């Protein structure tokens, strides 16, 4: 079983739609959680951290459920520029704070 699992998609949605991605992680000792965005053939970039109480950044809302070991990302009012792969990332505290990356969920927003 993968340590971080995501639905690979693709999610094909029209502009203006609301779309949600889910992610599950297997290690209950996970300490911190992030969503990264990766455009085609580009490097991953940090989109937002995920806090226990949930947090919002503009059109993006992240939620964490530690009991279910589940993370979500909600995108409202999708834009064409949101088309990318979204990586769920979990950090395990240790000698160097190990990041475990999910394989990503691909989003395609169409006109």
Select from 55-63, 64-72, 74-82, 88-96 the region that touches other proteins (CB under 8 A).
88-96
Out of 11, 21, 25, 34, point to the residue binding other proteins (CB under 8 A): 34
Out of 15, 18, 20, 46, point to the residue binding other proteins (CB under 8 A): 46
CA distances in angstroms from 11 to 28, 67, 84, 90, 105, listed in the order given? 28, 27, 10, 22, 8
Q: Is 49 in the site for other proteins (CB under 8 A)?
A: yes
Backbone angles phi, psi at 8, to 5 degrees: -70, -20
Q: Is 50 in the site for other proteins (CB under 8 A)?
A: no
Judged by DSSP in three states, 81 sits in helix
CA distances in angstroms from 37 to 41, 43, 71, listed in the order given? 12, 9, 15
- Which residues, 65 to 84, sit near other proteins by CB under 8 A? none
Q: Which residues of this chain interact with other proteins, rule CB under 8 A?
A: 2, 4, 8, 31-32, 34, 41-46, 49, 87, 91, 93, 95-104
């Amino acid at each position: 079983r993968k340590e971080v699992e995501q639905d690979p998609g693709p999610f094909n949605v029209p502009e203006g739609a609301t779309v949600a991605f889910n992610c599950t992680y297997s290690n209950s000792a996970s300490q911190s959680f992030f969503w990264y965005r990766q455009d085609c053939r580009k490097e991953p970039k940090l989109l937002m951290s995920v806090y226990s109480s949930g947090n919002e950044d503009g059109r993006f809302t992240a939620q964490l459920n530690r009991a279910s070991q589940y993370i979500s990302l909600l995108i409202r009012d999708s834009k064409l520029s949101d088309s990318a792969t979204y990586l769920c990332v979990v950090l395990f505290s240790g000698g160097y704070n190990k990041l475990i990356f999910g394989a990503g969920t691909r989003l395609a927003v169409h006109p």
